[in-house]
Structure 1
Amino acid sequence: MAPTSPAHSQATSLSNPGRATVPLAERPRSSSMGSEDGTKGLTENGIDDLRDLLADIRTWDGGIRQFLVDEQCDLEMIERVMADEVKRVL
């Protein structure tokens, strides 16, 4: 699938396991990602791209937990996400 936006290109480039990653907080953000009132929305393609990225991350060594650690997420968030991951596979 060809990239459709800078954000898509960036998310797609993250699906290369084994390369150094830059924490999400340090990545450039597109000004088109949010509206003037600060709310954000995703297009159908954006949601599909996120699902594809998560599916890819789940195949990496350490999976989602390691990805979140690498992204410097706080422990509480990691535990919440991992609890949801357990529910997802049940």
Structure 2
Amino acid sequence: MPSEHLSGLRRGPALAVLGLALLLPVLLAVAVFPTAMYDTRELIAWGREFPIVTPFHPPMMVWIGGIVDRLLGTSAAVMILTGQLLIAIGLVY
């Protein structure tokens, strides 16, 4: 029983650090880089075309970028938040 209690105590700070690491790029985008960087702008432009096939990247990345652009706009923070949420889903999976 004591080992379960200690692992719960260690898990809390680890999850807090993980959460901060996932949110830090979004906070930086809001505070420092409100305009999307080159790759993100390219993703937004590709997403507006909604291609079935792309020459360099898998199309799902472009589709997600296009959907986010249509629903939430072209803000760098929104695009980075979406990417960070997908990373978090991947970590849980």
Normalised by the length of structure 1, the TM-score is: 0.30
TM-score in terms of structure 2 length: 0.30
Larger helix share, 1 or 2? 2
Q: Which is higher, the Rg of structure 1 or of structure 2?
A: 2
